[in-house]
Structure 1
């Protein structure tokens, strides 16, 4: 039943059938004893290689989608400049009905989801002041509250994986701000987190770990990366790695000021480099290049800070940083599968068998 559902979901994702038709076909086929027969071992090995050796973003399907996306971006950009904020939402909905719900175009669905996120940000900014302080006041919670509602409704209607991922991330952000607000209210100190920066960092780290655990939940539920669960996990991993790195930077800073955290990076670069290395190892284990890629920018700033502390000139440590980061990317990228095989062999079978396989015959 699970494999049959996955096949129908994949057919709906590729636009072969509608999601409603897939939902009606599932009980119809199950009642008539239709089952999915396991493929031969050789074929299974080929499928495992196809799914574990690459991590192709499934929202990039062809230049047709790219052309439509360019039109969406240009049209919405022009409408945003000429019309009021409330006129943009109907345009997003109309385009979503045509391009997402009817034609099932993946890349335009991503662009429209991002446009909806930006529209929600501007809408919430209109009613509430932007967040400029370290969670002092109720406006941070009110500002974030609209995101999971709007993005969740969009996902229910159009089933865009990015919409659900953004809904989950914004819901966790809402929980974070609500928790911080309750702790501040219970303490009776308006400057509670300014006086207790370590506690603030710990709470942020717990929420970041929660986001990573949610991404793993979707990821491990689709070991062979065949359904939309993998797409949702892809976007969640992109947000989880920067959230974890930000929490680590906040934890090792002592001033408690969120806006000045970046200024302390150069002092704490060895810890940040180690943290990024750990995240890269985790990304290698779970076979998520997206998780590794999202941490490379922070790694570049960390290595930049290390060389800046030395006696190197400006040009020297800038270009040296580029060389070091580029070398790390090339080593990890070209040796991804051999490195995964080494790491997976060191893990217990109970863990490695739940992860995407590293096929022995795969090429980097």
Structure 2
């Protein structure tokens, strides 16, 4: 009889044959019998948008069908109720395509339609004045996030965490505008994107984004620590939160350090990227390193430009070095992480992070 792999357990969970908790227990028992972590396979971050072309086909059909139902409602009813109709239709379809068929791409589409619809509805109801203030926007984002969390509780679609995180971004900036209106408006006018991310130039905007990133990262780690073997939807939910947390944290930290200027700014930014790389290896999430790729190129460009090298050759060497580094760390991720984790002393929650081979 063939051995049961992690992919088999993920498929069983997706098909509803076993629960996530049962699959996790089966995996732990299997690994304990085979040597636990030393028997772990080299695992990538599970990520799936669709299982086959049939899901793309169904999603196109759902988009057309939902549009038709909404258009029919517009002709027959009150246009202000359209968002509610769209949200209700999305939830109705999700009860079949998400709960029964367990289709990935249609579930993402329906969750996105539901989230957008409830956002529009609450924006009309709570922020419908001619000049809505920051407090009204905050209420809209809170109400939308609450609706999305209810949707997540019912349908367990990981992508909903991404949508909820977007509401978190909007809520953070709305609260900043409500609590510190003069500073918020002053920093928002006439600045470049780099200035918005710089803690020295725009502290209100930058600290707001950094604070959101830290909250999103904390939420992602809560999901990750519940599923170190990454066989359930907890890991997928964490993935979507990391997608938001990584650029928020990395951009603010590195741009602020580069804003210091001179060699010291670049060296500090390089040190920050090295620390981010180590953190990404420890938690086994490549998203943090991906968010820093553009800054790796910036630092390499600065380092090469400080020599007497021709500009053309400088560009070539930047591409070669950056491409080589990314390719190397991507290909050697598993042994690099294993070596790092073995070198680190025991610390709280280390045993709840993704497993790694303990023997060389």
The TM-score with structure 1 as length reference comes to 0.67
Q: In structure 2, how many angstroms separate the alpha carbons of the residues matched to 1:341 and 1:35?
A: 23
Query: Alpha-carbon deviation of 1:357?
Result: 1.9
Q: In structure 2, how many angstroms separate the alpha carbons of the residues matched to 1:78 and 1:323?
A: 51
Q: 1:80 to 1:279 in 2, by over 3 A?
A: farther
- Which one of 131, 136, 148 corresponds to residue 145 of structure 2? 148
Q: 1:64 to 1:319 in 2, by over 3 A?
A: farther
Q: In structure 2, how many angstroms separate the alpha carbons of the residues matched to 1:248 and 1:300?
A: 16
Query: Alpha-carbon deviation of 1:335?
Result: 0.5
Describe the SS at the equivalent of 1:38. helix
Query: Alpha-carbon deviation of 1:155?
Result: 1.1
Query: Which residue in the other structure is 2:30 paired with?
Result: 39
Query: Alpha-carbon deviation of 1:60?
Result: 4.3
Q: 1:215, 1:236 within 8 Å by CA — same for their partners in 2?
A: yes
Q: In structure 2, how many angstroms separate the alpha carbons of the residues matched to 1:80 and 1:316?
A: 57
Q: In structure 2, how many angstroms separate the alpha carbons of the residues matched to 1:72 and 1:125?
A: 25
Query: Alpha-carbon deviation of 1:102?
Result: 2.0
Query: Which residue in the other structure is 1:115 paired with?
Result: 113
Query: Which residue in the other structure is 1:160 paired with?
Result: 157
Matched, 1:284 2:268: no
- Which one of 340, 344, 348 corresponds to residue 341 of structure 2? 344
Gaps of 5+ in 2: 1-8, 189-199
| CA deviation vs aligned residue, 1:67-91 (integer Å, no higher than 9, x gap) | 4345445666788899776364344
Query: Alpha-carbon deviation of 1:206?
Result: 3.0
- Please provide the CA RMSD for this pair: 4.8
Query: Alpha-carbon deviation of 1:64?
Result: 3.6
Query: Alpha-carbon deviation of 1:284?
Result: 0.9
Query: Which residue in the other structure is 2:247 paired with?
Result: 242
Query: Alpha-carbon deviation of 1:280?
Result: 2.4
Matched, 1:56 2:54: no
Q: 1:40 to 1:277 in 2, by over 3 A?
A: closer
Aligned residues: 324
Q: In structure 2, how many angstroms separate the alpha carbons of the residues matched to 1:77 and 1:103?
A: 22
Q: In structure 2, how many angstroms separate the alpha carbons of the residues matched to 1:190 and 1:345?
A: 46
Q: 1:176, 1:207 within 8 Å by CA — same for their partners in 2?
A: no
Q: 1:278 to 1:117 in 2, by over 3 A?
A: farther
- Which one of 218, 223, 227 corresponds to residue 223 of structure 2? 218
| CA deviation vs aligned residue, 1:162-205 (integer Å, no higher than 9, x gap) | 213432553465256325523x26xx877576798335433432
Q: In structure 1, how many angstroms separate the alpha carbons of the residues matched to 2:304 and 2:68?
A: 44
Q: 1:62 to 1:303 in 2, by over 3 A?
A: farther
Query: Which residue in the other structure is 1:233 paired with?
Result: 238
Query: Alpha-carbon deviation of 1:339?
Result: 0.6
Query: Which residue in the other structure is 2:97 paired with?
Result: 99
Query: Alpha-carbon deviation of 1:336?
Result: 0.7
Query: Which residue in the other structure is 2:6 paired with?
Result: none
Matched, 1:15 2:5: no
**230-239 vs 76-85, which moves further:** 76-85
Query: Which residue in the other structure is 2:55 paired with?
Result: 65
**62-71 vs 143-152, which moves further:** 62-71
Q: 1:284, 1:336 within 8 Å by CA — same for their partners in 2?
A: yes
Query: Alpha-carbon deviation of 1:294?
Result: 4.1
Q: 1:286 to 1:189 in 2, by over 3 A?
A: closer
Q: 1:208 to 1:35 in 2, by over 3 A?
A: closer
